[in-house]
Structure 1
Amino acid sequence: MEHMQIRMAMIDDLDAITSVEADCFPPAEAATKEEFARRIKAYGTHFWLLCEKGYEGEKLIAFVDGMVTDKKDLTDEMYENAELHDEGGAWQMIFGVSTLPAYRRNGYAEKLIRYVINDARAQDRTGIVLTCKESLIHYYEKFGFQKEGISESVHGGVTWYQMRLTF
């Protein structure tokens, strides 16, 4: 992983981010290019990219993004309304953990999640909240996230489970 770099998203990354998202989620669940543009503008410092450095430049292989808020639970409105971001908020939300399929099972998402956890701790957040599908509950539990039950989210017509890591 020495040729990997974690950095914050910039608007120039929009096409790459949208492409990775489309490779990771079905259309009903994937964020749009316009939504990502609003997210980067509203909270680019909470939009972490894992890039592979090579001879031909940089390739985005994974990212994690999410706003900060004082609201305790992740809601569907947060996905759609980046302006709800509150830099002084207690909770770091995670809207997505996206890794290109060809790069999965190499520890890249784990590296990125641990980086996000460290950032949120360093920023004195109360903790991190995310939602995931049932099959990923055990994955997030290894980072210390606790399952809180089925989320109110109906995003993409899927059942989501809310997970919380409290510092």
Structure 2
Amino acid sequence: MRIWCGRAFRLAFVVSLLLTWSIPRAAASRDGSEAGGSGYGHAAGDTSAQTGTETTYVWTRLASLETPGAPPPRFRRTVTWDTVNNRLLVFGGYSEGVYHNDLWEFSEANGWRELERTRPLGNPVPRSGHGAVWDAQANAMLLFGGVGPTGMRNDLVQYGSGGSWLGLSEQAVPGAPGTACS
């Protein structure tokens, strides 16, 4: 499991997690589940990995805000594990009055880097509170909804293997809530 959370300040804090899913019965890579995003009202920015067995879990810090090239901390962003390319993708979020639409990649081999905006208009509309999943068959991240500077979003966009964004639907599900979705 890859987690992008932690702290944007120097005080330490404790995060308690109640794991409510069962342990997989077959081998699998990390699944992109996430926790955290803020601590005591501050946006988070540490990157950690969790590995373990049915009885023991171990957290390992992979990167922090001091890591060169790390994205700025933010709230209500999505974190998705790309099972095909073995990397973590972080999109959007909100911090200091600004909605973000940047896409960041983290790999243990190469660290952090911001991915190029290769859509005719760049990345999708800035947003926070959206949902994202990795579609291994399509080798793509699907992004839905959220809220941005102009209000709630209800669109569906795809970030593909070629590094480009594709709008799949401006109104993906009529009447569906577009924020705090997963």
Q: Same fold (TM over 0.5)?
A: no
Flag the structure with larger Rg. 2
Q: Greater helix percent: which structure?
A: 1
Q: Greater relative contact order (Cα 8 A, min sep 6): structure 1 or 2?
A: 1
What range describes the TM-score normalised by the shorter chain of this pair? 0.3 to 0.5
Identify the structure with the greater strand proportion: 2
Q: Scaled by the length of structure 1, what TM-score is found?
A: 0.35
